[in-house]
Chains A and B, each alone.
Chain A
């Protein structure tokens, strides 16, 4: 089955760190551009990070630049998001997404179920 499964969310205090993982299966993970998208309670989705296949190109949203790091391990079919210096406004469901159409499509065709990150004291 083609799927993405996130893990690693939870409750963390402001200033703390978390590492999210995304396990991909059912497709050739190494060939796809991957992104993290988050959705705060009652809000729309917010793109936060992108990594090209092979890892040669990375982009971040300004809201997380310098605090979050996206990475991938193609041998383990996994995508990661290291989140440091967490703030209350980082509270959201975090989704791992695949850009399934290549080129400049920038379309997220596959989403995980999401993992909830709550930043609170």
Chain B
């Protein structure tokens, strides 16, 4: 059972923008960095955002991250069919000394 919450699904038309929220508490998001991962079936998850808002090299700037208090948000602009995937937030929980992934959000391109 995760300590993080995400909406089960979001959708938008090609070229549009979606945002995915990730909510936690002071022991996790509030005091630790948040990462975001993209998962396509049959492959390993892929890091999209680290340190709340940093993109690894090779990740397009269509993907962005932000954090405020005990919540974080992943934004995807210029939505493409290839963005259809599950997206997970992740962060360390200092009280539980455990890393948690969120339950995941499925992005559908209409």
Contact = CB atoms under 8 A, between A and B. Distances in A.
A100 B45 CA distance: 15
Residue of B37, B39, B99, B100 with highest tally of chain A CB at under 10 A: B99
A106 B32 contact: yes
B30 interface: no
Given A45-B88, A107-B47, A111-B44, A35 B104 contact: no
B33 A107 contact: yes
Interface string A94-117: 010000110011111101111000
Contacts of A37: 45
A27 interface: no
Interface in A39-63: 39, 44-47, 50, 59, 61-62
Give the contact-size bracket for chain A. Answer: 20 to 34
Residue of A39, A47, A106 with highest tally of chain B CB at under 10 A: A106
Nearest to B51: A105
26 contacts: A39-B45, A44-B101, A45-B37, A45-B88, A45-B90, A45-B101, A46-B101, A47-B90, A47-B98, A47-B101, A59-B98, A59-B99, A62-B98, A101-B50, A101-B51, A105-B35, A106-B32, A106-B33, A106-B99, A107-B51, A108-B35, A108-B45, A109-B50, A109-B56, A111-B46, A114-B44
